[in-house]
Structures are given as structure tokens and as C-alpha cells.
Chains A and B, each alone.
Chain A
């Protein structure tokens, strides 16, 4: 049980922190997505021609996510496009994932330990910009 009292909580509530919000209203209070732990750059791809009409329980934001992910987009860009916090988008994506409407690809191991070919491609690509 939470014992926090109003008035002496959250010392980080000041101008440097953002406005006070209730970001999880949209998710019905859920803070953990079904498929938790999606990376910021996890690649989200919507199923082609998804039948969204079959899921009347989904919010407009779910539907926008499916639309935006139609061409494959990293999670963090979806959050920016929808102007929703990353944590909220994770929950919504979990809903879509459990309905088979999107696939979420965590960064492959090559991302964490890129081999020399990848590093060389990055250097060459940066030089060519």
C-alpha cells in the first residue's frame, strides 16, 4: 500500500522536470506492456492490411500506431510522431502485439556488438554525408 502523502513527495517536481501529467490514463492505468522491455529503437512493423474493425476496444492512438508502423518504424519515432511518452507507447504496442497487429523486433545482437563491416559502413557513410 502506498503511504505517500501529498506535499512531501517527488522532490524532482520543478521547472526542469516536465509538467505534471497523468500519462497512463490512456492505458487504463497499465504501466507494463504485455511484451515489456521494448528497446527505444525496437523496430515496429504493422501487419499488412490489418482488420482494425475487429478490435472495437482499441483507442484512436492504437489505430494511429498501426498506421504509422505500416512502413516499419522504431519505437522512439512512433512516440515522437504521436506526441506520447515512450512508456505509454510501449503499453499500447503490447496491446497491438498481443492481437497480432504488429510485430516488434528488438535490436539484433549485431546492434549491441556491431562487427567491423558495420562500423566501417558507418564511418564510410558519415564521410559521404
Chain B
């Protein structure tokens, strides 16, 4: 049967899935960027917000414990049969940091979207990635009608390390989003000391 042979051929073939985080303050365009880049409609799932079971393996009573969930937006870009990118929008609020840790584990890197009208909103994201040594780039989302600042003045305001790339972008535009991702991957490669060739 064809389907069996297909399965057999795929067995042992595990594609590589790379995680990229899309971070930034509330309303900075995270979900918009994930939507613009994803080859499928942005998907959503939930992680459960609870401390149940964290402290103990004793599960009695857990089934009656109510909790809440936090939504995660994610999208997918298939590079080839062996390689996929998963883009995860991070929850916008500090109290969901525990979920960031799960998202960031093993992540290739992150895009921090900055809204020049509310620059300070992306400080926590930048702090998070700096502290954990996770490579990131800053995408300055150019909203309609928002005042244009020079990249240099934004960089100074964010107190960014000189080697952290900054890119002007439009989170609604796929090509623009691609440019941001490419700049992230090239930044990761440079940090490894193996620059990806420009061509």
C-alpha cells in the first residue's frame, strides 16, 4: 500500500523545527507579524496557568481545581521537507513570564517589536533576552501616523548593544517581516562566528 510505504519512508525522518519568538509590548504588532509571515492561518493554542502539580506529585484534588489558560498565537513557515520555522507570539504581560521560559527553551532567537509611540513597553522583552543570552533583533514597527524616529535615536533610547540589529518594518507586510527574520538568522550566525554569506 502506498500509504504504508510512505509512512515507512518517513519513519526515522524527523524534520527540524526551529522556534522563533515574536515579542514586544501589548499592541506592538506581534500577532499581526505572525499572521503576515505564517503560511497557514495563525494557529492558536492555550497553555494552562496553574501551579497545580508543581509542588507535589500528589494529584488528589487536582481534578477539581479550576484555573485559566493563556492563549498562544503561532505560525509556521516551511523552508523545505527537513526544516520548518515556528513563530510564537509571546504573551504581552509580565505575569506570564513562566510561559516565556517554555517558549524560549531551545529557541533560535527572538524578534522584539518596538512601537515608537510606546518604546518603554518593549524594555521587559529586551531585558529578558539579554539576561538569558538569547539572540534577538529589534523590529521598529512603523505604524500609520506614528512619528518616525531615526533608528539611531531609538537605539539610544533602548540602550541597545551596538551589535543588536535594528530593522524598520511593517508588521502587516510579509516581505518586511521576512527581512526582519533574515536579519535575526544572520545575527545568530554572526554570534556563532560563522557569518551567513550575504548572497
Report the minimal beta-carbon distance from B97 to chain A, rounded to whole angstroms: 12
Q: Is B95 interfacial (CB-CB < 8 Å)?
A: yes
Q: Which of B48, B70, B105, B188 contacts A88 (CB 8 A)?
A: B48
Contact A125 B80 (CB under 8 A): yes
- By size class, the interface of chain B is 35 or more
Report the minimal beta-carbon distance from B71 to chain A, rounded to whole angstroms: 6
Contact B17 A18 (CB under 8 A): no
Q: Which residues from chain B contact A72 at a C-beta distance below 8 Å?
A: 10, 13-15
Q: Which of A18, A105, A119 contacts B188 (CB 8 A)?
A: A119
Known contacts A29-B63, A41-B17, A48-B7; is A17 also within 8 Å of B68 by CB?
A: yes
Q: Is A97 interfacial (CB-CB < 8 Å)?
A: no
Looking at B53-61, B121-129, B141-149, B151-159, the stretch in contact with chain A turns out to be B53-61
Contact B185 A119 (CB under 8 A): yes
Number of interface residues of A (CB under 8 A): 58
Q: Which residues from chain A contact B45 at a C-beta distance below 8 Å?
A: 76, 79-80, 84-86
- In the bound complex, how far is the Cα of B87 from the Cα of A48, in angstroms? 30
Report the minimal beta-carbon distance from A59 to chain B, rounded to whole angstroms: 14
Tell me the chain B residues, 1-29 only, with Cβ under 8 Å from chain A.
4, 7-8, 10-11, 13-19
Tell me the chain A residues, 84-111 only, with Cβ under 8 Å from chain B.
84-88, 105, 107-108, 110-111
Report the minimal beta-carbon distance from B85 to chain A, rounded to whole angstroms: 7
Residues of B within 8 A of A (CB): 4, 7-8, 10-11, 13-19, 43-50, 52-53, 57, 59-72, 74, 76-77, 79-80, 83-86, 88, 93, 95, 102-103, 105-106, 108, 174, 178, 181-182, 185-186, 188-189, 192, 194, 196-197
Residues of A within 8 A of B (CB): 2, 10, 12-13, 16-25, 28-32, 39-41, 43, 45, 48-49, 70-72, 74, 76-77, 79-80, 84-88, 105, 107-108, 110-112, 114-116, 118-123, 125-127, 129
